[in-house]
Amino acid sequence: MDILGLLEELRIKVREDKTLRLEILATKGEKNPVDAFCKVCQAWGYEIYAMDLIGAGEEFYGNMRRSTNGGGENSPMLDGEDDFYELFMASLEAI
C-alpha cells in the first residue's frame, strides 16, 4: 500500500481510537516530530517511515506545481502543501 493509503487508514483508525489519537498528537511536541510520528505509526502496525512520508509529499507537490500555470518555475509557491505530516496533523485537529 502506498503512503497515502496508509495515512488514510490511519486517519480512520485515529477517529476510532482515542489512545492512538493522543499518541499521534503528542508527537508535535517532540524535538523531531516526524520521526516520533513514524515511530508511533510503526508501533501501531503502520509501516510509515520519514523518508517515505517526505518523499511522497515532495512528489505530490511537484505534480501539483507541474499541473498549474504551465508547470514552470513561475508556478506559485504553496506553503505546506508538501508536508504530509503537517497536513495529517491538521486533519486530526479538525476532528
Q: Which DSSP category does 22 fall into?
A: H
**58 vs 74, residue with greater confidence:** 58
**44 vs 91, residue with greater confidence:** 44
| pLDDT on residue 41 | 96
Nearest to 3 by CA among 60, 56, 43, 72: 56
Nearest to 56 by CA among 13, 6, 16: 6
Over residues 14-34, the pLDDT tens digits come to: 999 999 999 999 999 999 999
Rounded CA-CA distance 14/16 in Å is: 5
CB 92 within 8 A of CB 14: yes
Show me where the domains of the chain are located: 3-93
First to last CA, the chain: 25
